[in-house]
Amino acid sequence: MGANPWELLSLAPLPAESTCSINVLAEERRRPDMLRRVLLELAEQPTPRRWLEQSRSGQRLSLRFVAGRELEEALRAIARLAESGMLATLDHLGENVTSEAKAAEAAEAAGRSQEAIAARGLPADISVKLTQFGLDLGEETAWRHLARVGERARAQGSQVEVDMEGSAYTEATLRLVKRAHAAQLPVVAVLQAYLRRTAGDLERLRELGMPIRLVKGAYREPPAIAYPTKHEVDENFLKLMRRLLEGPAQAKIATHDERLLAAARARARELKLGADRFEFQMLYGIRRDLQRQLAAEGWRMRVYIPYGAEWYPYFMRRLAERPANLLFILKQILKA
């Protein structure tokens, strides 16, 4: 018999505003923003993380959004996407390392990913998190590792997408991607539409001509820093996306929202943008139908493929982004 489906939401204390996860699930349609906050709270809890990352049932669940624990599994996923005319970005999962040794290990794993992609001729770049490269230990530590993978990407003719994390890291991350861009390293900046500051950041990066990936954002933030409702985030994403597509920066539009995708396609046609100017991006395991549809229509389509043992925070943020994913997961548990 599989795990009790409600255990996944009861292994750690919940915020005071949501004392019963079962009630939250029952009210999902009426209160999606509350459910999102619950899931983001759980993403930061160590108890469910330890249990799920180490259990077989947890690892099976992760395969919905994570290609596997090993690099070879992720490479096979990239190859399958390539057969359908899609590109990929490969991400070795992990964040907030607390030692120089762990930061060096993360950089070495990123390097192995780059070498394997190049050796097999796969149409893929890599994505990195600066806290995984030691940003909590100091910007110079993170810079040293970012420069290494950036130089390798430049030699290979690929790119390095630098993920944006929680708002506590926004300024430092932007400083480092600008530094990398000034050093002529092929980095891609990531901006989050849910942050109130992003319109200004977008304009400053556009002036530099830096490639930009626009995402909605998936971390727990206070309303003073981030728009608190899905509607507000969607509207800001739409405004930023239209501005980003105007150039001169290469635009990477990361969303699964059909309304936003339709608006992006309409704007791209209006501006007569070529394939070199922009691309769509989606996450592994989410809306595969839309991924195939966009590729079949001739749009440049890239899929973000995560792999590795430290998958729990990423997994929970994916559930929070689209609460319907949670219902899918619970159905899989009930079938187990």
Q: What is the pTM of this model?
A: 0.81
pLDDT per position as a tens digit, 222-275:
999 999 999 999 999 999 999 999 989 899 999 999 999 999 999 999 999 987
Q: At what angle do helices 258-271 and 288-296 cross, to 10 degrees?
A: 20
Over 50: is that where the pLDDT of 84 sits? yes
Largest CA distance in the chain: 57
The residue type found at 198 is T
pLDDT average, residue stretch 103-132: 97
Scanning the structure block, which residue is given the tokens 């890291």? 169
pLDDT per position as a tens digit, 9-30:
333 333 444 444 444 444 444 4
Alpha helices in the chain (DSSP H): 21-26, 32-43, 46-54, 56-62, 71-83, 100-120, 139-156, 170-182, 198-208, 230-245, 258-271, 288-296, 312-321, 324-335
Whole-number pLDDT of residue 317: 72
pLDDT per position as a tens digit, 29-61:
445 666 666 666 666 666 666 666 666 766 666
pLDDT per position as a tens digit, 289-317:
999 999 999 999 999 999 987 767 777 77
Over 70: is that where the pLDDT of 185 sits? yes
Separation of alpha carbons 199 and 115, rounded Å: 36
Whole-number pLDDT of residue 218: 83
The three-state secondary structure class of 158 is coil
Tokens of 286: 């989410």
Question: Which residues participate in catalysis according to the annotation?
Answer: 163, 213
Whole-number pLDDT of residue 41: 66
Separation of alpha carbons 228 and 124, rounded Å: 34
pLDDT average, residue stretch 85-111: 96
Over 50: is that where the pLDDT of 1 sits? no
Q: For residues 332 and 63, is the Cβ–Cβ distance under 8 A?
A: no
Over 80: is that where the pLDDT of 110 sits? yes
Whole-number pLDDT of residue 48: 62
Q: For residues 195 and 161, is the Cβ–Cβ distance under 8 A?
A: no
Of the candidates 173, 169, 163, 142, which has an alpha carbon nearest to the alpha carbon of residue 225?
169
Separation of alpha carbons 48 and 268, rounded Å: 43
What percent of the chain is predicted at pLDDT more than 70? 75
Whole-number pLDDT of residue 51: 60
